[in-house]
């Protein structure tokens, strides 16, 4: 829901629909082709919208439907090289990071995106617990990332 509100606020301020949508996609780290599939609109139509063309009503409804988060998810925040080797379902959203600063930003972004729980490394978990209002699960040394995610899934 947060993404829908942010898009609506941007439009209400008089900004172009396409540029507002592009900002949201950039923040999510989502490529237009990935979003076009999710929204079920032709990629060429999405590119036209992002470049400033006025969208048709049916495309607007599909875009808003694609931005609507129906279910909660578990946010997994870890180093890029760790996440490259792992595959999860729709209920797990990965936030690849390379610095502690990136990790802190990812924690805040995950909560804003609607995460119901956050899985992260011990170095980040104590700080994350102070910053967000969702459960934070620590990846403990000796346990696999998958076990930590499964523990978080039980909380949502």
CATH code: domain of residue 46: 1.10.260
Domain count, the chain: 2
Nearest-Å Rg of the Cα atoms of the chain is 17
pLDDT tens-place string over residues 93-150: 999 999 999 999 999 999 888 899 999 988 899 999 999 989 999 987 655 677 878 8
Domain end among 67, 82, 104 = 67
| 13/62 same-domain check | yes
| 40/81 same-domain check | no
| 104/120 same-domain check | yes
Q: Match 């700080």 to its residue by tokens.
A: 127
Structural domain of 136 = 73-153
The three state secondary structure string of 95-107 is EEECCHHHHHHHH
Residue-level pLDDT at 5: 82
pTM of the full structure: 0.49
Give the residue-averaged pLDDT of 18-29: 88
Extended strands (E) in the chain: 73-79, 92-97, 115-120, 136-138
| 114/89 same-domain check | yes
Residue-level pLDDT at 68: 77
| 60/77 same-domain check | no
């Amino acid at each position: 829901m947060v993404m829908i509100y942010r898009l609506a606020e941007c439009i209400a301020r008089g900004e172009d629909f396409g540029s507002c949508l592009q900002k949201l996609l950039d923040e999510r780290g989502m490529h237009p082709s990935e979003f076009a599939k999710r929204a079920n609109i032709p990629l060429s139509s999405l590119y036209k919208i992002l470049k400033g063309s006025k969208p048709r009503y049916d495309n607007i409804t599909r875009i808003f439907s694609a931005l609507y988060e129906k279910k909660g998810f578990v946010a997994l925040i870890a180093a890029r090289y760790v996440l490259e080797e792992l595959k999860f379902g729709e209920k797990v959203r990965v936030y690849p990071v390379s610095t502690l600063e990136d990790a802190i930003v990812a924690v805040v972004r995950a909560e804003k995106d609607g995460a119901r729980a956050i899985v992260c490394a011990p170095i980040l978990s104590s700080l994350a617990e102070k910053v967000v209002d969702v459960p934070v699960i620590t990846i403990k040394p000796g346990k696999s990332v998958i076990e930590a995610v499964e523990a978080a899934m039980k909380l949502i």
